Amino acid sequence: MVATGFGATILLGSVLLSLPMATTTGEPADWVTALFTSTSAVCVTGLVVVDTATHWSVFGEVVIAGLIQVGGLGIMTLATLFTVLLAGRLGLRAKIALQTETKSLSMSDVRRVVRNVVLFALAGEAITAVLLTGRFMIGYDESFGDALYLGGFHAISAFNNAGFALWPDNLMGFVSDPWICLPIAIAVVTGGLGFPVVFELARSWRHPRRWSVLTRVTVGVSVILIASATLIYLATEWNNTRTMGALDDPGKLMASFFAAVMPRSGGFNTVDIAAMNPSSMLVTDVLMFIGGGSASTAGGIKVTTFGLLAFIIWAELRGENKVNVGHRRLAEATQRQAVTITLVGVALVTVSTYVLLVLTPYSLDRVLFEVISAFATNGLSTGITADTSMAVHVLLAVLMFVGRIGPLTLGSALALKERTRRFELPEERVIVG
């Protein structure tokens, strides 16, 4: 149901973007371009094969913003919301479908969960839009209408971790402007935490001891990743004149923090990604693959999965047969799910990278970067996607689709198919390592 919902929305978006009125020239976009852009928008990725600002008309940009909004909230969440509004009640099948998309921790009061998810998303986007609109009016002399359009579009794109921007160089023109960079970065982080985590923080942010394992791992790992990445980018790009070297010290700090936040699945950039040092690109690869929080608008294998793997490794190194997170024991089924999702992700990235290396003349670091960005629905790019062939565009579109719904549906399927074996086989120790 999730895959069908996303697929149908992508096809609808492709049809709308292929209309003559969707482009600035008045000529219909070719089908692959429309399909790629629609997939990137619905899967809240941000990779593009044509410049969003110059190729698409206002109608096309509005369609893209609408697809981002639908993809961010989740097709199943919207469908169930309409069911509530029209029928006034939810059946068991609809409840299960909704829980699959939002990963609600409980099936009780599903209608309240849906309402809170929608209201929270709209409120976050509205606050970000107000801040950006004011800045565009005051700092860049935009008219109220233009400023509101720019603020609203980028607020939707930021909160949903989409990375679409209405400038050819993304946000590089605002690299030192905290009134643009900080609202967008905060929106990306908030949207990437995940709805269950945000709701729990809103209820008990003063009492960390009461937080669930999901909230503890998501918040803890997110803080560690953003802080460490900021320091790494500062160190590796400090003297790189093609990225941050020409900025003053506060500008470098701002650019480093922004660059550390965006691999969570934000997709915006204020420095030239292709000009980064190889070490910085490698760090970005890792951050993109990890992604954001579970049940969020972010992609990747999720910080929860990464954090649980760290606890599993730590328990194994200490020789403990149980994995404990805080004052809770981690279920063995959850451990297997985390390992499975990670290894499947590694396999998809590896195979796709090999295929793209065969189809393109680009180096491994650039191809790997584009592949991880597509799989993690991130949107950061070294600029090679637009110059590749139609076959590569189709492959990346498929990878974006799989990356968006893959971890979601795979995790749900593993949880729903858990069963207890009624017999045990004789144990045998195998040499490992």
pLDDT tens, residue by residue, 305-342: 999 999 999 998 988 888 888 778 888 878 888 888 89
Q: What mean pLDDT value characterizes the chain?
A: 86
Question: What separation, in Å, do the N-terminal and C-terminal C-alpha atoms of the chain show?
Answer: 41
pLDDT tens for 224-260 read 999 999 999 999 999 999 999 999 999 999 999 999 9
| Residue 9 backbone phi and psi in degrees, to 5 | -65, -40
Q: Mean pLDDT over residues 39-62, rounded?
A: 93
pLDDT tens for 190-233 read 988 877 788 788 888 888 888 888 888 999 999 999 999 999 99
What is the model's pTM? 0.87
Q: Which residue has the higher pLDDT, 99 or 171?
A: 171
Residues 6+ apart with CB under 8 A from 336: 414
In which band, very low, low, confident or very high, does the pLDDT at 79 lie, cut at 50, 70 and 90? very low
Q: How far is CA 179 from CA 46, 128, 137, 138, 139, in A?
A: 22, 11, 12, 11, 9
3-state DSSP assignment of residue 325: strand
What percentage of the chain exceeds 90 in pLDDT?
A: 59
State the DSSP code for 26.
Answer: S
Q: Note the pLDDT of residue 2.
A: 74
Q: Note the pLDDT of residue 227.
A: 96
359: enclosing H helix or E strand: helix 332-359
Give the alpha-carbon dihedral of 270, 274, 277, 279, to 10 degrees.
90
**Cβ atoms < 10 Å from Cβ of 179:** 14
pLDDT tens for 118-140 read 888 899 999 999 999 999 999 99
Quote the CA–CA distance of 18 and 8 in Å, as a whole number.
15
